[in-house]
Structure 1
């Protein structure tokens, strides 16, 4: 049995993927700007 990660099914999953992409992009941009980047690697 598959565990559902969202309550809204497929569309929710698609939205989650987009949100995840955006979140990673934002985090990567923050790391580029951040003096803490060296500690993250």
Structure 2
């Protein structure tokens, strides 16, 4: 924590958390690629 008002805290990922970043990036890419298609299909039903 920093000695400020309001209190402020800075967080960082652990090495284990960092190891998930590529997985989360792939999930994001998959979602982005399919979101447009799904929205179009829902709009035309």
Give the aligned CA root-mean-square deviation in angstroms. Answer: 2.8
Relative distance call for 1:35 and 1:26 in structure 2 (3 A) is same
Q: TM-score, normalised to structure 1's length? A: 0.52
Q: Residue 34 of structure 2 corresponds to which residue in structure 1?
A: 26
Q: How many residues align?
A: 35
Structure having the higher helix fraction is 1
Q: Which runs of 5+ in 2 are unaligned?
A: 1-9
Q: How far apart in 2 are the matches of 1:2 and 1:8?
A: 14
Q: Which runs of 5+ in 1 are unaligned?
A: 37-41
Q: TM-score, normalised to structure 2's length? A: 0.49
Deviation above 4 Å: which 4+ runs of structure 1?
A: none
Q: Residue 3 of structure 1 corresponds to which residue in structure 2?
A: 12
Which is greater in Rg? 2
